[in-house]
Amino acid sequence: MPIESVNPANDTVLRVWSEMSEADLDVTLMAASQAQEFWASLPFEERALPLQALSEQFEQREAELAHLMAQEMGKPLPQGRAEVLKCASACRWVSENAADCLVDDFVDLDGERVLLTYRPLGLVLAVMPWNFPFWQVIRCLAPASMAGNGMLLKHAPSVQGCAEAMAEMTRDAGLPEGLFANLTLDEDRVGRLVARPEVAAVSLTGSTRAGSTVAAAAGDALKKCVLELGGSDPYVVLEDADIDLAVQCCAKSRLQNSGQSCIAAKRFIVVDAVRKDFTARLVAFMESQSWGDPLGADPVDIGPLARRDLRDALHEQVRKSVLSGARLLLGGKVPDGPGAYYPPTVLAGVQPGMPAFDEETFGPVAAVVPAVDEEHAFGLANATPFGLGAAIFTADAERGARLAADHFQVGNCAVNTMVMSDPRIPFGGIKASGFGRELGANGFREFTNLKTVRFPAV
C-alpha cells in the first residue's frame, strides 16, 4: 500500500511512496549484512570518521532539515534547528568516546586471566517514531554503528522524507553502502521482519502498544530488544519550591515539540500550600504561547499535532476528563479549519481514574493534580503504569535529589529542571515505559555481545 507524507498544518499531501517489495527487501538485507561484516572488521578510529562527517552534515543542513520536519510533522522551526544541532553534537561525542566505552577489560581468576570484550551483534532493526525524526534515529545509529553494527531503519510512514534525508546523509558521510538501510514498509510487516535471520536485534521508540507487539515478536525469535515507550511523567512541586521556576520548567517541558514527547511533563502534582499560585501562573504562561503554522509568516511556539487522528484522540481524553470532574481552565476546544491544531490546554482537579491522569496525553495539555503533602504527592506520582521520567521542585536541591532517587519509580529524574536526554548519560524507562538503555556507555553496550574469554595467566 502507498505511504503518504501529509503536512499537518494544512492537510496537504506532500509526497507518496511505494512500499518496498519482498524482492527488494531481500536484496537490501543481503547488502546490509555484507556491509556490516566489513564494518565490524574496522578499528574504532576508522568507524569514527563517517560519524564525524555526519556531524558536519547535520550542521551544514540545519535550516533545510528543520524545514523538512516542520512540513512533515509540524515541528516549530527553532525546535527543529535545535534537534538537528543535538544530532550533530551526539555524533561527535559518540565518535570520540566509543573506544573508551567499549574498551576491553581483564579479570584475574584463580591463576587464570579473563578477557571481557564487546563485539557487535550484526544488523539492528530500528523502528522509530515521527516526533523526533532525526534525533530518535541518531541516538540508536551512532552508538550501534560505532560498536560495529549496521542499521535497518523502519521509520514512521508520515516522516518518510526525513528517513530519505537520513539515508542520503549517511551515504554522503562515507558509511559503507548498505550499512544504513531505509526500509519503506508498512507497520504490519514489522513482525515478519523481526523474525528474519538477518536481523540480530531490535530497537523501538514508540507507544506502549507498539512496544508490546515488537517485544513479543522479538521474544518469539529470541532476539535482544531495547524499548523506549510512552510516559506520563509527573512533575512534583513542593511547598518550598521556586514557583516561577517550577512554572517555567513544567510548561516548557509540557509544550516541547507541541506536547508530543514521551518525556514531556504531563502530570503536575502540586501540594495544596502552593497549588493555587502555581495554577494561576501556569494558566497565564500557557495562554501566552502562540500557536499556528510553523512555516507561516509569524514564528510560533506550538505547531499542529502530527496527524488529525492524534489530535482527535487527545481531545477525547480532555473531554472525558472534564466529564469525570476535571475543571477546564484554558483551551480544550478543537479549532475550526484545516490542520491538526490543538490549543494550549490546562485541566485542574485531575484525579486517578481520569484519562488525563491514567493515560499518556500527547499534546499541549497540562494536568494539575492536587496533593495534600509530600508523601501524598509521591504516591500520586507513582500511581501509573508508566516509568519514564519525573522531576521535583524544591528549595533544597540535594534533598530533592535524594527524594528523586529513593521515591520516583522511573528511569530518568530531574531536580529543579526538566527531564532531558543527553548523549553522555543513559536514558530509558521501566514498567510500561520500556526496558534497556540508550545513550551513555550503557547505550554502546546494549547491542553488543559481552564475550568472556578465559586463558592461562603468564
Give the domain CATH number at 378. Answer: 3.40.309.10
For 144-195, write each residue's pLDDT tens digit.
Answer: 999 999 999 999 999 999 999 999 999 999 999 999 999 999 889 999 999 9
The total number of structural domains in the chain stands at 2
**116-129: average pLDDT:** 98
Q: What's the rounded Cα separation, in Å, for the pair 278 and 258? A: 21
Q: Flag whether 449 is in a domain.
A: yes
Asked if residue 246 and residue 199 are part of one domain, the reply reads no
Q: Flag whether 447 is in a domain.
A: yes
Helical segments of 221-335, H only: 243-255, 272-288, 308-323
pLDDT for residue 1 is more than 80: no
413 is catalytic: no
Q: Flag whether 422 is in a domain.
A: no
Q: What's the rounded Cα separation, in Å, for the pair 278 and 243? A: 6
Asked if residue 165 and residue 51 are part of one domain, the reply reads yes
Range of the domain at 354: 233-415
As a whole number, the mean pLDDT across the chain is 97
Asked if residue 64 and residue 171 are part of one domain, the reply reads yes
* Predicted confidence band of residue 458 (pLDDT cuts 50, 70, 90): confident
Asked if residue 342 and residue 219 are part of one domain, the reply reads no
DSSP string, 126-168: EE--SSSTTHHHHHHHHHHHHTT-EEEEE--GGGHHHHHHHHH
- Options 228, 359, 360, 438, the catalytic residue: 228
Asked if residue 241 and residue 209 are part of one domain, the reply reads no
Asked if residue 206 and residue 71 are part of one domain, the reply reads yes
pLDDT for residue 2 is more than 90: no
Asked if residue 241 and residue 182 are part of one domain, the reply reads no
83 is catalytic: no
Asked if residue 248 and residue 157 are part of one domain, the reply reads no
Higher pLDDT, 458 or 432: 432
CATH number of the structural domain spanning residue 208: 3.40.605.10
Asked if residue 134 and residue 108 are part of one domain, the reply reads yes
Q: Flag whether 51 is in a domain.
A: yes
For 303-345, write each residue's pLDDT tens digit.
Answer: 999 999 999 999 999 999 999 999 999 999 999 999 999 999 9
Q: Flag whether 218 is in a domain.
A: yes
Asked if residue 345 and residue 273 are part of one domain, the reply reads yes
Asked if residue 278 and residue 213 are part of one domain, the reply reads no
Residues contacting 162, CB < 8 A, separation 6+ = 65, 68, 69, 72, 133, 134, 155
Q: Flag whether 382 is in a domain.
A: yes
**107-118: average pLDDT:** 94
Asked if residue 190 and residue 280 are part of one domain, the reply reads no
Q: Flag whether 426 is in a domain.
A: no
- Options 83, 262, 359, 360, the catalytic residue: 262
